[in-house]
Structure 1
Amino acid sequence: MRIDAIIDNARVLTGDDARPTASRVGIWAGRIVGLDEQLDGVHADRRLDADGAVLLPGFNDAHAHSVWFGQTLAELDLAGATTPDEVYRRIEQRVATDPHDWVVASGFNPLGLAGRLDRDALDRASGGRPVWIKHASGHAATMSGEGLRRIGIDDGPRADPDGGVIARDHRGRPTGLLEENAMRIVQDVLLPDPLTAIEDALGRASAQYAREGITSVTDAGIAGGWIGHSPREFAAYQRARERGLLRTRTQAMVTLDALVELAGHDDDPRAIGLTAGIRSGAGDDRLQLGPVKVFTDGSLLGSTAAMSEDYAHDHGNHGYLQGDPEAMRAQVLAAAGGDWALALHAIGDAAIDFALDLIDEAQRLHGARPLPSRIEHGGVVRPDQIARMAQLGVALVPQPRFIAEYGDGMAERLGPERTLRSYPAASVLRAGGVLAGSSDRPVAPGEPLRIVQAFVERRTESGAPYGPDERLTIDEALRACTAGSAAATGWGGRKGVLAPGMLADIVVLADDPHHVPTERIGAIDVVATLVGGEAVHGTLAER
């Protein structure tokens, strides 16, 4: 028997309880065909020496924003800015070297800012050029005065859009802050992006993913809403693949408002979808359509997530849903009628109740979905909701890195009791539910080893414990970022474990996460990343 490759001299952590370790891996036609003694007598076209490195299943980020992330790699970076003056200085420096009309900045975290940005000061810093600052949460933006003028927001009266806020000062003058659906006003002017620009952003993001050991990514919202970049966005993914820019396997969620009414027989249920009835699951193991993405509420960072009780720091405010509940229900059920799986962004516990009710009703009306239905984020999840998720087969996709980046601010907004139920992990596993590792990148850093570390530590940026009963073991955290994410994305049993028959998606690490201090897990070097047995980052010595 002859196969494509055998990797020797490795410390293989398979993620398979039936066979947790090995030292050799055999690969043929992009899949694993054997381990250790199963390869005795087998000949390979290539023999690769791991030189004692650690092999794990490739990491799978179940919720990221690849185009957005790729764009941030070329935009003004405001991460770490702690004062308005520092923001103004960075804008001045950008203007001095960037000939483009608009100054577009990313990574801004208002929770870490001592003070507030002033639209007039932004105008002065930019020399009168329009400024668009994207908040790290993805749920708000700040504009300069010229930026507001360019998008049609003047100082006169104007109603807030449904599910959004144009912030104003005590005189009624817009401050430049746009929340939630108000960001669509910017996009109506500046979007869609050219397909070539989207492709290039995907290329930058995918190259970074490969360097970090990520072999699969789900893009959580394309083609519509305030998260999309073009109505033709999936075409950009296809073109990026054809250009060889996608180094990782990719699943893309189409946003709910990008689906259209579908005609059909009188006996068919009402359905919305893509023309010709294309739905979740279309594609292959390299590029696939995932669930439909639905925003039910806002964010914890902006205090717009829908809670059953008021925020601890803001009495009288318990957030809000992003639209009329009955209208949202009708659209979600119509998507389910078109055979779309459901991925519902729900951060507050009131939004999670709403989301679970929708998933339950969709399953009763239309049966099981073609891919698992999911709750994205889960900022506050009650024990009864965790039990209900497990009973319905709904995956939870939290972002543990939020805790390390924004935990102090989130804890202040939630209060001690709700913080214990925030972004749960261990309780999901105890209930028998599906837990997926994810980043929501670029909202938070997305290196998967740092996500594993955050799952294990659950400490805020100041070092305070954050729901310590929800900590995972290292094995549980690794499984969430590999097999757990595979299960949540409909690929359980086909990737996420290093075993015969599985896709040969492998990350090669310089050290074992079990054998370094917990605080160093995120610093382990990624030696190589293999997708389908082919190196997309780094190399292994051939002999």
Structure 2
Amino acid sequence: MRSSLNQSPITLIENARFLTQDPQNPVADAVVIVEGKIIALDESAGRFQNVEKIDAEGAIVVPGFNDVHAHSVWFGQTLLEIDLSQSKTPGAVYEALAGALKHEGSEQLGAKPQWLIASGFNPNLLEGAELEINKLDRSTGGRPLLIKHNSGHAYTVNSKALEIAGVDPRDPVEIEGGEIVTDQDGLATGLLDENAMRIIQDILQPEASSELVQALERATQHYVTEGLTSVTDAGVAGGWIGHSPREISAYQAAEIPTRMQLMPTIDVLHNLSGHTSEEPGYGIDTGLRTGFGDDKLQIGPTKIFTDGSLLGTTAAMSEDYQCCSHHGYFQGDVEEMRGQALRAASLGWSLALHAIGDAAVEFSIGVIMEAIDSFGAPSMPHRIEHGGVVQDDQIKRMADYGIILVPQPRFIREFGDSMAEKIGVERTNLSYPAKRLLDAGMILPGSSDRPVANGAPLKVMEAFVNRETETGELYGTSERITAAEALYAYTAGSAYVTGWGGKKGQIKPGQLADLAFLEDNPLEVASTSIGSIEVVGTMVGGEMVHGKF
């Protein structure tokens, strides 16, 4: 031990207040780092000689933030595509598209210049108005158009795009688990819900590895400016959320400053041959599965989509939506989805089931309970992603079985008014829970679903605490948690959920030296100011990857 320390650089961070997230030692004043790990705090830090000192200039230092549900390639692409996030009228959308045509060859046209590709579109901002396909046609000058909705569960396209996809706008085909939306005359409007998006993805994908690398590098360089040191990509390599069968190789090729965990979609898993004495395999070629990798890049659970979204009223509910007389739908045959999930679990995969409506949550709980009863609890916990509506009895069963729920409170800040309109006041009190999870003894992680919503961790933490909609209305205030609970969720909570509890997420000897340096204390500022705190530095594995130190 002594000779190793003598050979390795020793870094001492001082003049800081460390919020350790270790209940046994919640605050520290000095930290010593060797070979990317924390080895000493406070008085123990003083025994080291010949240290390289970092003066933190009075910063508040917390464990690096960990977003357990984001989409990095998708987010990186939004930084290259036409931005419709501020377009609040159909006219503004048409103008943005027409304006992009004047910048031929610019980055704004994205990696496929023959197409116009736009991101960040929120149809709920149009206040009842809808895009018209004939006006989209005129605005795009004969070019095929793809508008990605920020929900991730819908596209809007023009007539040229439908033509390329082989769809007759006068007589569109029916698609299981999705819809080519039509008007009262049976004509395609250009809106593609859920699995209907695949008709466009089949044209534009697989995407080139060089495009994926570029998107990843842009995304992760942005992450570290917000104190993010670990991110889980919730669905890669296949399905309608993937970009290429070679997507994982792009993470190996890219210069990425953050730690990454990847969820291959269930679409990627397939039968694997082996020795005649073995049961048939089911997974990725070579037999890779949950847990493979290291602290920089790792395979996580397999991602399974069971339903859609609240914004698109495609999430599977037990009762009708408030706004319309239907209760959504599942994305596939429930018995087929159950069979896939159980087969994956039987062969070592942890499960991450996207479930927003309470009917989908019920289905997912049943599948995971059956998996645990049959095959035991996995080393990396099974998860349910989102939980747009979750009943009390469902939380009890999740707690009993150690199932993780991964909610996104930032949805409330950005889409709360629209969600409340669709599900009604009663169900907003059951929507994207947090306090009920903690009260039940469950571990709460931090996540954003970026780029569906703003993914800055401090802004998500503020949403955990305030639960206010875009217009300041309160949304399920009984689910509010404290700033301290929100900070723990985004650090130690996330580490546990991703299988890294005790190895990162706390400022504690033996854990990875991933740190975020903040200009102010999120536990002491007004709750409405948490999201405005500046991140003045970010460290990953003992190396500064952002900031002034």
Instruction: Point out the more displaced range, 154-163 or 108-117.
Output: 154-163
Counterpart secondary structure, 2:329: coil
Counterpart secondary structure, 1:90: helix
> CA contact under 8 A between 1:248 and 1:531: conserved in structure 2?
yes
Mapping for residues 453-468 of structure 1, pairs under 5 Å: 453-468=462-477
User: Which residue does the alignment assign to 2:296?
Assistant: 286
User: Which residue does the alignment assign to 1:111?
Assistant: 124
Paired AA for residue 33 in structure 1: I
User: Which residue does the alignment assign to 1:41?
Assistant: 47
Out of 24, 27, 31, which is 1:25 matched to? Answer: 31
User: Which residue does the alignment assign to 2:10?
Assistant: 4
> CA contact under 8 A between 1:340 and 1:370: conserved in structure 2?
no
Counterpart secondary structure, 1:50: strand
Q: CA deviation at 1:268?
A: 5.1
Q: CA deviation at 1:98?
A: 2.8
Q: 1:64 and 1:213 mapped to 2: Cα distance?
A: 15
> CA contact under 8 A between 2:224 and 2:258: conserved in structure 1?
yes
Q: 1:523 and 1:328 mapped to 2: Cα distance?
A: 42
Q: 1:74 and 1:365 mapped to 2: Cα distance?
A: 46
The Cα offsets for residues 280-321 of structure 1, whole Å up to 9 and x where unpaired, read as 000000000000000000000100000001001112x10111
Instruction: Point out the more displaced range, 161-170 or 55-64.
Output: 161-170
Q: 1:465 and 1:361 mapped to 2: Cα distance?
A: 37
Distance verdict in 2 for CA 1:479–1:165, change over 3 Å: same
Q: CA deviation at 1:32?
A: 0.5
Q: 1:88 and 1:398 mapped to 2: Cα distance?
A: 34
The Cα offsets for residues 53-90 of structure 1, whole Å up to 9 and x where unpaired, read as 11000000000000000000000000021110000011
Q: TM-score, normalised by structure 2?
A: 0.96
Paired AA for residue 64 in structure 1: A
Mapping for residues 97-496 of structure 1, pairs under 5 Å: 97-99=103-105, 100-114=113-127, 115-240=129-254, 245-264=255-274, 271-315=281-325, 317-496=326-505
Asked whether 1:69 is paired with 2:75, we answer yes
Counterpart secondary structure, 1:515: coil
Instruction: Point out the more displaced range, 195-204 or 158-167.
Output: 158-167
Q: 1:522 and 1:412 mapped to 2: Cα distance?
A: 26
Counterpart secondary structure, 1:513: coil
Paired AA for residue 95 in structure 2: R
> CA contact under 8 A between 1:271 and 1:336: conserved in structure 2?
no
Instruction: Point out the more displaced range, 264-273 or 143-152.
Output: 264-273
Query: What 5-or-longer segments of structure 2 have no aligned partner?
Result: 106-112
User: Which residue does the alignment assign to 2:528?
Assistant: 519
Paired AA for residue 249 in structure 1: R
Counterpart secondary structure, 1:70: helix
Q: 1:373 and 1:44 mapped to 2: Cα distance?
A: 45
Q: CA deviation at 1:510?
A: 0.6
Counterpart secondary structure, 1:10: strand
Q: 1:71 and 1:150 mapped to 2: Cα distance?
A: 22
Paired AA for residue 124 in structure 1: R
> CA contact under 8 A between 1:7 and 1:25: conserved in structure 2?
yes
* Alignment RMSD: 1.2
Moved over 6 A (4+): none
Q: CA deviation at 1:159?
A: 2.8
> CA contact under 8 A between 2:78 and 2:119: conserved in structure 1?
yes
Q: CA deviation at 1:341?
A: 0.4
> CA contact under 8 A between 1:143 and 1:176: conserved in structure 2?
yes
Q: 2:280 and 2:359 mapped to 1: Cα distance?
A: 27
Instruction: Point out the more displaced range, 37-46 or 88-97.
Output: 37-46
> CA contact under 8 A between 1:271 and 1:335: conserved in structure 2?
no
> CA contact under 8 A between 2:167 and 2:173: conserved in structure 1?
no
> CA contact under 8 A between 1:426 and 1:471: conserved in structure 2?
yes
Instruction: Point out the more displaced range, 382-391 or 64-73.
Output: 382-391
Q: 2:355 and 2:396 mapped to 1: Cα distance?
A: 16
Q: 1:493 and 1:269 mapped to 2: Cα distance?
A: 34
Q: CA deviation at 1:133?
A: 0.2
Q: 1:323 and 1:475 mapped to 2: Cα distance?
A: 40
Q: 1:34 and 1:139 mapped to 2: Cα distance?
A: 47
> CA contact under 8 A between 1:272 and 1:337: conserved in structure 2?
no
User: Which residue does the alignment assign to 2:110?
Assistant: none
> CA contact under 8 A between 2:67 and 2:446: conserved in structure 1?
yes
User: Which residue does the alignment assign to 1:96?
Assistant: 102
> CA contact under 8 A between 2:172 and 2:188: conserved in structure 1?
no
Paired AA for residue 305 in structure 2: F
Q: CA deviation at 1:428?
A: 0.1
Paired AA for residue 103 in structure 1: L
Tell me the matched-pair count. Answer: 535
> CA contact under 8 A between 1:510 and 1:525: conserved in structure 2?
yes
Q: CA deviation at 1:478?
A: 0.3
Q: 2:416 and 2:56 mapped to 1: Cα distance?
A: 38
Distance verdict in 2 for CA 1:127–1:359, change over 3 Å: same
Q: 1:320 and 1:380 mapped to 2: Cα distance?
A: 14
Q: CA deviation at 1:338?
A: 2.2
Q: CA deviation at 1:271?
A: 4.1
Q: CA deviation at 1:514?
A: 2.0
Counterpart secondary structure, 1:43: coil
Instruction: Point out the more displaced range, 268-277 or 398-407.
Output: 268-277
Distance verdict in 2 for CA 1:270–1:369, change over 3 Å: farther
Q: CA deviation at 1:44?
A: 4.4
Q: CA deviation at 1:43?
A: 1.9
Q: 1:486 and 1:272 mapped to 2: Cα distance?
A: 27
Instruction: Point out the more displaced range, 219-228 or 90-99.
Output: 90-99
Distance verdict in 2 for CA 1:218–1:157, change over 3 Å: same
> CA contact under 8 A between 2:159 and 2:169: conserved in structure 1?
no
> CA contact under 8 A between 2:162 and 2:169: conserved in structure 1?
no
> CA contact under 8 A between 2:258 and 2:296: conserved in structure 1?
yes
> CA contact under 8 A between 1:61 and 1:216: conserved in structure 2?
yes
Q: 2:169 and 2:123 mapped to 1: Cα distance?
A: 23
Asked whether 1:58 is paired with 2:68, we answer no
Q: CA deviation at 1:158?
A: 3.8
> CA contact under 8 A between 1:151 and 1:186: conserved in structure 2?
yes
Paired AA for residue 359 in structure 1: I
> CA contact under 8 A between 2:65 and 2:227: conserved in structure 1?
yes
The Cα offsets for residues 414-438 of structure 1, whole Å up to 9 and x where unpaired, read as 1111110100001100101121110
Q: 1:268 and 1:355 mapped to 2: Cα distance?
A: 29
The Cα offsets for residues 466-522 of structure 1, whole Å up to 9 and x where unpaired, read as 110110101000011111111111111111110111110000001111222211111
Q: 1:98 and 1:16 mapped to 2: Cα distance?
A: 53
Q: CA deviation at 1:264?
A: 4.4
Q: 2:375 and 2:310 mapped to 1: Cα distance?
A: 32
